[in-house]
Chain A
Amino acid sequence: MRRPTDAERQEWEANGVLFLQNAIEGEDLSRLQATFDRCTAEARREWLEGIAKGTRPAAHFDIPKPLEKDDVFIDLIDYPGWYGFLMDFADEDLILLAPQVRTLPVSPISYVGWHPDVPHTTPLHMKVQIYIEDVPTDGGAFGYVPGSHKPNAGLCPVVRPLDSMPGHKVYPGKAGDAVLFNSYGWHTAMVNRTLKPRKSIILIYEKWSKDRILTDQFATIADKCTTPDRRRLFSLDER
């Protein structure tokens, strides 16, 4: 399992974001890509029905309950390509909040705009976005304002257009690359001006704190989480 170097730890502290090249590769990546496509195809009809009713967003397509769909998604949660970084930054006390197995359709506008996910009053909140296929700069790549995770950053401004955000950086990548970021910081999905939807998986974590999530949230996959580390990560026991 990879652990951050001192330089990476410094970069994380200073910027709130780390780009992890080839975080998943080879057989693992191929298996993930195939599973992503199969599960997406299976969930597509229900998504389209939800769009028409206004009960599902059209601007992004998340597979419902992915951890129950295939073990390959469970294995991502403590995957060595990023798990060591998360554990280190969370002082070895990490919980999963949710996974998002997400397809982002082509659109002239971003589906979110610049935003932080959580205020500084919540415990350290981190996300890993894994690119399932190559994501070019204009293909809905992740954008982040390095340093905006700090408490003195102030309020996230509303900017027009999206790419006029001062100090922002865009993170294009190859299939298997991942971006780890502190969700206090301002981030967005840049506009996807290509002809190809973006495929990525976003894993949401937090440093453990009491009663943050219910012990039964991941109960349906408890039989896949038998080690003490996994039981903690998936909040399967009272603490």
Chain B
Amino acid sequence: MPIIDSHLHVFEKLSAEFPREVNEQCPADRAETAEKLLEVMATNGVDQAVLTQIGGTQLVHHRYLQHCLKTYPNRFRGIGLIPRDKWDAPEDHMDRLAENGDIIGFRINEIGGPADPLSQMDVRTFTSYRIWKHAAKKNYVMWLYIRAKDAHQVAFMVQAFPEIRAVFNHLMICPGEGMFSWDDEGRPHINTPIPPLTRYSMLGLHEYPNICVHLSGQYAFSQEAWPYCDLEGWHKTLLSKFGADKLMWATDFPWILEDPGYDKLVQVIDELLPDLNAQQKAEIMEGTAKRVLGFPDVAD
């Protein structure tokens, strides 16, 4: 069975060739390279992956991502970031990153409309509006990991641009303010009720044909060790609402390499959705990502 890991991160040590931002999670001398990833993927029968930019939003910060995409053209697709001060006019930045066709979309974490759901909602006033508008024009994918306080605004943007392929990262969970921390292994942990209360603003999006959801990031939301059984019900809810042809499996490499291990993540769908038939399983592990994100056949 072919497999696509539809959301993860790679980065190189800080250098003049590959400049990036440095933080506790990604210190200057840490590297989680494409070669290391490809080795782990090969060991686990995973063929292709979506590399999501990490280490900064500026064009130069994307150099390592672009290097990987160029070096392994049939294995990867990329997702870029947009500097916050360019959201008013993001078009040039987006196009420059996407010009080779291998960066297919952009990740944002805010929609930027009124925090009060009882306000009048005019998407043209939302801070991310120009990004969405340009994504619609150029057929870019929107990669969404948005804040709880923006959850109620998403449907308005999707209604305005229903043709955009939008992929909600990490179980469609929207982290709340002050609910973020680092776990003992230096990984993000999000304190959230499960099922999330933002579900009332999000699950109805299954009505739109181009909305997908990542089954990933379990380690960050679960109160338990692998296989994260406290998230089983939420996985089933996402399956029943969106269907397997809108769900994509991902690992969020490298944060899961030590705990629970990449091999365990490859099995996590079997653990949390044990009743899938073969076709549904194939959709989640590969088919949805291949179709929606336009992956080539590996042999090409």
Contact = CB atoms under 8 A, between A and B. Distances in A.
Contact of B197 (A54, A103, A109, A110): A54
A111 B174 CA distance: 16
B151 A158 contact: no
Contact of B115 (A48, A61, A103): A48
Interface of A is mostly: loop
B104 to A, nearest CB: 26
B131 to A, nearest CB: 19
Which has the most chain B C-beta neighbours within 10 Å: A56, A59, A61, A160?
A59
B10 to A, nearest CB: 29
B-side interface size class: 35 or more
A59 B148 contact: no
B117 A51 contact: yes
A195 B174 CA distance: 26
A140 interface: no
B240 A105 contact: no
A58 B176 contact: no
A148 to B, nearest CB: 18
Interface string A38-64: 000000100010011111111111000
A54 B117 contact: no
A-side interface size class: 20 to 34
Given A54-B192, A55-B176, A158-B241, A111 B117 contact: no
Contact of B148 (A52, A105, A112): A52
A58 B199 CA distance: 9
Contact of B158 (A60, A108, A111, A197): A108
A54 B204 contact: no
A51 B193 CA distance: 12
Interface string B140-170: 0000000111011001101100000000000
A109 B155 contact: yes
A107 interface: yes
B200 A56 contact: no
B179 A54 contact: yes
A55 B193 contact: yes
B118 A61 contact: yes
B196 interface: yes
A172 interface: no
Interface string A57-81: 1111100000000000000000000
A54 B240 contact: no
Contacts of A105: 117-118, 152
B277 interface: no
A49 to B, nearest CB: 9
A113 interface: yes
Interface string A181-218: 00000000000000101000000000000000000000
Nearest to B156: A108
B115 A59 contact: no
B117 A109 contact: no
Contacts of B207: 109, 160-162
A56 B197 contact: yes
Interface in B165-195: 174-179, 192-193
Given A107-B155, A158-B206, 4 more contacts: A52-B177, A107-B117, A109-B201, A113-B241
Interface of A: 44, 48, 51-61, 103, 105-113, 158, 160-162, 195, 197
27 contacts: A48-B116, A51-B115, A51-B148, A53-B178, A57-B198, A57-B200, A57-B201, A59-B117, A59-B152, A60-B200, A61-B118, A105-B117, A105-B152, A107-B117, A107-B201, A108-B158, A108-B159, A109-B205, A109-B207, A110-B204, A111-B204, A112-B204, A113-B204, A158-B241, A160-B207, A162-B204, A162-B207
- List the 6 closest A-B pairs by CB distance, nearest first: A54-B176, A109-B204, A59-B200, A54-B148, A58-B152, A108-B159
